[in-house]
Amino acid sequence: AHELRTPLSNIQGYLETVKDGLLEANEVTIDTIYQQAVHLSQLVEDLRLLSLVEGGNLRLDLVDDSLPNVLNRSVEAFRARAEAAGIELSVQTPSGFPLVNMDRTRIAQVASNLLENAIQHTPRDGRVEVIMGESGSTNATVAVSDTGDGIPAQELPHLFERFHRVDPSRARSTGGAGLGLTIAKQLVEAHGGAIYAESTLGKGSRFVFEIPLRDGSA
């Protein structure tokens, strides 16, 4: 309720100020209100998705598909943003990789959530890297690493909890609602996989998820 109330209160406050004539309804004001509405809409959608997954009602469209293709497309979607932030973004996917039985849209969402998190916490001149490989002969492994400030060890067990933010002082409008990693975890586990994080303060973080290959073997 608190997370929903924040953007709603911001929207209401701006509209009341405009209504009272204390603030001009110019392009800047309208854009601010719009961004808060977008944030609220995304939060509602994230909560809806979490409710479906946790209730066992999310239907996955599982097909044998190319994980390298999904990852390459996900990285390209973030390339312009990374370049604008002065961050080097790269992806390494092996050729001839076995197909993975997955919901393409949901795995792309996992990758996007991890990339969003990595770019958000990587400073200018930093680096974000996506590396794909195999774990044994049964799982595909994807690692998203960054050269950010890192995460304190005591925070690692809580990273995938709802609304958890390593820095609680971050504004909700800029720091996110703290649902991206929770959603990533739920979607990976819905595929029969697992996700975890590693980090070293001052050096960066690494998020890794694994999902089964098509036949459980290469």
Structure confidence by residue, pLDDT tens digits, 167-205: 544 444 444 556 889 889 999 999 999 999 999 998 999
Q: Give the integer Cα–Cα distance in Å for 179 and 90.
A: 25
Terminal Cα-to-Cα distance of the chain (whole angstroms): 46
For residue 167, what is the DSSP state?
S
Residues whose CB falls within 8 Å of the CB of residue 116, separated by 6 or more in sequence, listed in order: 78, 176, 180
Burial 109-138 (b: 16+ CB within 10 A, else e): bbbbbbbbbbbbbbeeebbbbbbbeeeeee
- Which of 65-69, 156-160, 172-176 holds the top average pLDDT? 65-69
Structure confidence by residue, pLDDT tens digits, 107-122: 999 999 999 999 999 9
Q: Are 74 and 111 in contact (CB under 8 A)?
A: yes
Q: Give the integer Cα–Cα distance in Å for 135 and 102.
A: 17
For residue 60, what is the DSSP state?
P
